[in-house]
Amino acid sequence: MKEFKGRVLAGGNWKGEAVVSHQGVNTLATFQSSALKNSKQVIVSDQNNSDIFKKMITGKALCLPITIGSTTGGLVIQTICAMKINPAAFLFSEHIDSLAASGIVLAKVWENSDVIAIDQLGNDFLDAVKTGDTLEIREDGTVIIIE
């Protein structure tokens, strides 16, 4: 069991599966195809991110350094939360970027989303967590990798 503590941006308690990207996640490329098809779950469509390409991430903890891409990023996150096909949690090793933060705030306020967001978990977190690991997230920003 490994424990990490980050800064809570959108809190919550949750336990479930991790999906890990070691590179920045392009929000538009990741979510666009599933959103446009009005899918019931997100299958990552960003072929430039081999860590998560074609993986189902709805209801999972997306572990990532940061989001990247165009200024649509925040709206894309808000939209997938409105559609209820979002990851359960966004767990950032770095400081959250302003676009992801805005999308998560909009989803919480406008969509009453229960999405969780924690940043500043550190590079050690991203090195330790693996796709398929079970994570426990606590309201105070603690993330536990259960072995």
Task: Measure the CA–CA gap between 109 and 144, rounded to whole angstroms.
Answer: 27
pLDDT reported for residue 107 = 97
What pLDDT was estimated at residue 70?
A: 85
Of 52, 66, 59, the residue nearest 121 (C-alpha): 66
Q: What is the pLDDT of residues 104-141, one digit of tens each?
A: 999 999 999 999 999 999 999 999 999 999 999 999 99
Residue-wise pLDDT tens digits, 12-28: 999 999 999 999 999 99
The pLDDT assigned to 99 comes to: 95
Q: Are 116 and 137 in contact (CB under 8 A)?
A: yes
State how many domains the chain has. 1
- Does residue 147 have a pLDDT over 90? no
Per-residue pLDDT tens over the stretch 57-78: 999 999 999 999 889 999 999 9
Cα distances from 58 to residues 2, 34, 89, in angstroms, run 24, 10, 9
pLDDT score at 80: 97
Residue-range definition of the domain harbouring residue 121: 2-146
CATH number at residue 40: 3.50.30.10
Q: Is the separation of the CB atoms in 76 and 32 below 8 Å?
A: yes
Q: What is the pLDDT of residue 56?
A: 98
